[in-house]
Structure 1
Amino acid sequence: MSRLVIVVEKASDWGSYYPSADVVTAMDYLREPVGGDDERTHVINLCRSYKYLGTGYYVSLLAEARGHKVIPSVRTVNDLRRRSLYGLQIDDLNDKLASFLPAGGRDTTDFGMLVYFGETAHPDLQDLARQIFDIFPCPLMRIEFERERVWQIAAVKPVGLHTLDDAQEDAFAATLEKFSRKIWRRPRARKQYRYDIAMLVDPNEAMPPSNKKALKHFIEAGKHLGIEVDPINKNDYQRLAEYDGLFIRETTASDNHTYRFAHRAEREGMVVMDDPTSILRCTNKIFLNDLMVSRKLATPKTEILYRDDIRRLRDLPERLGLPIVLKIPDGSFSRGVVKVETPEALEKAAVDLFSHSALLIAQEYLYTEFDWRIGVLNHEPLYACQYFMSRGHWQIYNHGAKGTAKSGGFRTVPVREAPSDVVKLALKATQTIGDGLYGVDLKQVGERPVVIEVNDNPSIDAGVEDAYLGEDLYLRIMQEFLRRLELKRLGIQP
């Protein structure tokens, strides 16, 4: 079990609540002897202020020095002082606040709300409160908004427990109990495992990177190595501090929660697969194309199209020939990819895709019966698959009109049986990305292999990618986690 410590500046700050052995004063916490306790300790710092070099600041600072998981962290405390951060990463702020205010309050130019562990008394603004809490994980804070032409955040301020009125104290007590029970006191048999890894999944995802059977294999492989692999979802952002590593098994994007999870985990010093840098590099095909070309790696003939450059679009068939493949930069599983066979179809498809992105990728069409997928882990080939085109379609995935996706067949072979030049090119492609887990898609036209793209967070489905290695595939991935975790424990950067 982990130990919970609630730190208050003065004993009187807890006077409205039931006495608890978990509650200590700041001075008592700061005077605790250092070392000698291997128990996981989680600290909720409720000091009146986190002013630089003040008591509250030192509680968070020394908690981190002692290896305790603390909220707020020193990073959060510092971020709260930087007003330049207030306008970042808040989705649809103007729409959310404008729709929240009743008709009679539309002339309001300022507004504030209290947020307790990511929760607020205003149900309509709950998503906004959670989003701000994800950015600034602080137990108790006031968010102040102001409007000139549009709404913006004027301030994010920590609030002292001693300033709350009776109703606010009740609300805080309820959220504290909920937070501490869910985050810190979740009963888990930790002692039988050396490490704990959070596996981020979306149970409702239509085309997840791993099917349910594969997820079970990852869990079993972890147990075999003394690692607990614990499935979590996007609502468990604040639980990351519990874990030693993060394994993302949900389709990634640089503009959604998967990237925020990876970025937060990396900041916490966790082993992350895949890391935020890999997500950024792999999820944008324009970046990938420039990266491959700059490293002189073989790719299909490719051009970048710009929304306002009509002449370049019309001249494209002369340079690439027809058919042409158009892609949006961040599509996945063959979505946002169109093959056009005439100039008229090219212009029509471009108009549609430009509504999603200011830039598009245009590539020469290379016909092959299948694509190679080479799995790569830490610069070593892991598996080799042939993905065949969907029946009657030119892509592996055929997204039907009814929203269903059908895929072609596959053939999984030992890496040694894949063409050596295909495997070598895949390894060269991942050298430019990082040392994580990748799936490199390649086509082999005659004797010439070309890189189509490099995927972070590649598909690993039971019965497909593991068809040759079986359970050993999952074991190898978990062994790489273990290797990196052991290096972290020794203070060595993996």
Structure 2
Amino acid sequence: MARLVIVVEKASDWSSYYPSVDVVTAMDYLREPVSTDDERTQVINLCRSYKYLGTGYYVSLLGEARGHKVMPSVRAVNDLRRRSLYGLDIEDLNQKLTRFLPEGGRDTTDFGILVYFGETAYTALQDLARQVFELFPCPLLRIEFERDRVWQVSSIKPVGLHSLDDAQEDAFAEALDRFSKKLWRKPRARKRYRYDIAMLVDPNEAMPPSNKKALKSFIQAGKELGIEVDPIGKDDYQRLAEYDGLFIRETTASDNHTYRFAHRAEREGMVVMDDPSSILRCTNKIYLNDLMVSRKLAVPKTEILYRDDAKGMKEIAGRLGYPLVLKIPDGSFSRGVMKVEDERALEKAAGELFQHSSLLLAQEFLYTEFDWRIGVLNREALYACKYYMSRGHWQIYNHGAKGTDKSGGFETIPVRDAPSDVVKLALKATQGIGEGLYGVDLKQVDGKPVVIEVNDNPSIDAGVEDAYLGEDLYLRIMQEFLRRMERKRLGIAD
């Protein structure tokens, strides 16, 4: 079980609370001999200030050097200190403040709130407090607001425990209690694991990247390698500090919690699959198309449609011909993809899809009986599948169908038996994206392969993608996690 250490600058800062063996002064913590055992330690740094080269700064700095998970981290401290970063990290929060703080509701032009581990007494601002805490993980923060014509965040500052009044001390104690219960898991089994990986899943997802049996196989593969694979959900954001790696096994998007988890894990120095850069690059089909074209890789003829450009839409349709395919940039599992047969259908489909995005992709229609999916891990081909079109439909997934006809069949074969030009093109397609786990979709048209898209979080279902490799598929992915975590521990850059 992990060790919890609460660091205060002076013993008197904790005088309002019950004594605890978990509470130490900053000087005692800094003088503590460096441990060489593998005990996991989480440090909550409650020093009065985190100013550069001050006591609180050194608690976080040396804690990280000792391999402890420290809140706030040195990176969080530096981010808070550099006001210029606020615009990058909380631009969208400023836009939301008018909803939280109506113009007619206050006479003052500035005020502030306290945030305790992401919680605040202002119910209307709870979502804002949580988002700020996720961006700047710090036990105690004060968010200052100011109003000129609209409300905006003027500053985000750490607060010392010693500055709280009685009511605020009670609120802090309750928040600390709730936070620590989320943070620490039940005691581990007797067997000790070399590493821990958090596997982000959503049990309620209708079409998850991995089915339940596959998730169990990942857990079992981890155990064989001395890795504990622990399923977590979107409410476990603050537990990331416990782990050495993050494996995302729910559908990713750049505007939801999966990206926030990946970004936070990368900032914590964890091994992440898939990393935030891969999520950004793969979840936008416009980016992917430009990337493939710039690398001179074969793709379907593609044009970009712009909202309120009716003339351009007609010209593009003339160049591509009918039928053609319309796509929203961030669709997945065939969602947001429509086939249109004529000008009238194009206008109708574009009208529907433009409600979700200001730009659309229009592609030439290429029908094949199946799509190739080449799984790629760390720039090497991992598996090869044929995904057949849903019965009577032009896509693999037919969301309008009922029962078992929503998706087509599949055939999984050894990579060596897949056409070599298909595999080579799949590997080239991932080279400009990263070294993670990808699923490259391709079609063979007149004997030549073209790239349809690259998925950053490919499907790995028991009975489908593992039909040839079996449990070795899960072992190979966990072995890659192990290789990267070992290199992290040794300080070797990939």
TM bin (shorter chain): over 0.9
Q: Give the TM-score normalised by the residue count of structure 2.
A: 0.95
| Amino acid aligned to 1:399 | H
- Check whether the contact 1:245–1:270 (CA below 8 A) recurs between aligned residues: yes
Query: Which amino acid in the other structure matches residue 289 of structure 1?
Result: N
CA distance in 2 between partners of 1:156 and 1:404 (Å): 52
**How far apart are the structure 2 equivalents of 1:89 and 1:394?**
42
- Give 1:489 deviation, angstroms: 2.1
Residues 266-415 of structure 1 mapped to structure 2, 5 A cutoff: 266-400=266-400, 406-415=406-415
- Between 472-481 and 90-99, report the one with greater CA deviation: 90-99
Aligned-partner Cα distance in 2 for 1:6–1:201: 31
Deviation at 1:277, TM superposition (A): 1.4
* Residues 379, 104 of structure 1: alpha-carbon distance in 2 compared, 3 angstrom cutoff: closer
> Is residue 97–residue 152 contact of structure 2 (8 Å, CA) maintained in 1?
no
Deviations 1:98-152 (A, max 9, x none): 5555897255533321111111122332222111100110001111122223221
In the alignment, residue 446 of structure 1 is paired with which amino acid?
Answer: D
Q: Sort the Cα spacing of 1:304 and 1:100 in 2 relative to 1 into closer, same or farther, 3 A.
A: closer
Contact 2:372 2:384 in 1 (8 A): yes
Structure 1 equivalent of residue 51 of structure 2: 51
How many angstroms does 1:347 deviate by?
2.1
Q: For 1:108 and 1:98, how far apart are their aligned partners in 2?
A: 15
In the alignment, the residues of structure 1 paired with residue 431 and residue 287 of structure 2 have an alpha-carbon distance, to the nearest angstrom, of 15
C-alpha distance in 1, partners of 2:148/2:191?
Answer: 55
RMSD between aligned alpha carbons?
Answer: 2.1
Amino acid at match of 1:242: E
Quote the offset at 1:91 in angstroms: 8.2
SS in 2 for 1:422: helix
Q: What's 1:129 paired with?
A: 129
Range with greater deviation from structure 2 (261-270 or 194-203): 261-270
Partner of 2:198: 198
Counterparts of 2:188 and 2:213 in 1: how far apart (Å)?
Answer: 23
Judging changes above 3 Å, is the alpha-carbon distance between structure 1 residues 182 and 460 closer, same or farther for their aligned structure 2 residues?
same
Task: Return the alpha-carbon distance in structure 1 between the equivalents of residues 133 and 156 of structure 2.
Answer: 10
Tell me if structure 2 keeps the 8 A contact 1:87–1:153.
no
Question: What is the Cα deviation at residue 291 of structure 1?
Answer: 0.9
Q: Which string of whole-angstrom CA distances, capped at 9 and with x for unpartnered residues, describes residues 139-173 of structure 1?
A: 01111122223221111111111111112111111
**In 2: Cα distance, 1:450 partner to 1:205 partner:** 31
Classify 1:37/1:219 alpha carbon distance in 2 versus 1 (closer, same or farther; 3 Å): closer
Question: Shift of the alpha carbon at 1:424?
Answer: 1.4
Q: Tell me how far apart the structure 1 counterparts of residues 155 and 116 of structure 2 sit (CA, whole Å).
A: 16
Q: How many residues align?
A: 494
Q: Report the counterpart of residue 109 of structure 2 in structure 1.
A: 109
- Give 2:459's aligned amino acid: S
Q: 1:321 to 1:208 in 2, by over 3 A?
A: same
- Cross-structure match for 2:207: 207
8 Å CA contact 1:145–1:153 kept in 2: the answer is yes
> How has the CA–CA distance of structure 1 residues 95 and 186 changed in structure 2, closer, same or farther, with 3 Å as cutoff?
farther
User: Where does the alignment leave 5 or more consecutive residues of structure 2 unmatched?
Assistant: none
Distance in 1, matches of 2:104 and 2:191, equals 57
Give the secondary-structure state (helix, strand or coil) at the position aligned to 2:406: strand
The structural deviation recorded for 1:35 is 3.6
* Pairwise CA distance, 1:90: 4.6
- In structure 1, stretches of 5+ residues that fail to align are none
Residues 399 and 405 of structure 1 are in contact (CA less than 8 Å); yes or no, is this contact kept in structure 2? no
Q: Distance in 2 between matches of 1:64 and 1:103?
A: 44
Q: How far off is 1:397 after superposition? A: 1.1
Q: Quick check: 1:245–1:265 contact (8 Å CA) kept in 2?
A: yes
Q: Note the C-alpha offset of 1:210.
A: 0.7
Partner SS for 1:398: coil
Q: Cα–Cα, structure 1 residues 158 and 405, in superposed 2: closer, same or farther, change >3 Å?
A: farther
Distance 1:401 1:424 in 2: 35
Query: How far, CA to CA, are the matches of 1:185 and 1:463 in structure 2?
Result: 32
- Give the Cα separation in 1 of the matches to 2:94 and 2:248: 31
Q: Calculate percent identity across the aligned residue pairs.
A: 83
The alignment partner of 1:449 has SS state of: strand
**CA distance 1:368–1:482, change in 2 (3 Å):** same
Residues 1:489 and 2:489 are matched in the alignment: yes
* Secondary structure of 1:458 counterpart: coil
Distance 1:216 1:196 in 2: 15
2:26 aligned residue: 26
For the residues of structure 2 that align with 1:427 and 1:486, how far apart are their CA atoms? 25
Question: Shift of the alpha carbon at 1:245?
Answer: 0.7
* Structure 2 partner of 1:436: 436
CA distance in 2, matches of 1:272, 1:147: 40
Cα distance in 2 between the residues matched to 1:89 and 1:53: 25
How far, CA to CA, are the matches of 1:124 and 1:406 in structure 2?
42
Q: Label 1:152 to 1:65 Cα distance change in 2 as closer, same or farther (>3 A).
A: same
**Counterpart residue number, 1:183:** 183
Over 3 Å counting, the alpha-carbon distance change for 1:7 and 1:405 in structure 2 is farther
Q: Structure 1: how far apart are the matches of 2:366 and 2:419?
A: 18
1:3 is displaced (CA, Å) by 1.7
In 2, Cα distance between the equivalents of 1:81 and 1:232?
A: 32
- 1:272, distance to aligned residue in structure 2 (A): 0.9
Aligned to 2:76: 76
Identify the range of structure 1 (419-428 vs 34-43) with the bigger mean alpha-carbon deviation. Answer: 34-43
Aligned CA distance change for structure 1 residues 403 and 141 (closer, same or farther; 3 Å): farther
Q: Deviations over 1:237-276 (max 9, x none)?
A: 1111111111010111112221121122112221111111
**4+ residue runs of structure 1 moved beyond 6 angstroms?**
401-405
Q: Which amino acid letter does the alignment assign opposite residue 129 of structure 1?
A: A
**Equivalent residues of 1:42, 1:184 under 8 A apart:** no
Q: Which 10-residue stretch deviates more, 119-128 or 417-426?
A: 119-128
2:369–2:389: 8 Å Cα contact kept in structure 1?
Answer: yes
**Whole-Å separation in 2 of the counterparts to 1:120 and 1:83:** 22
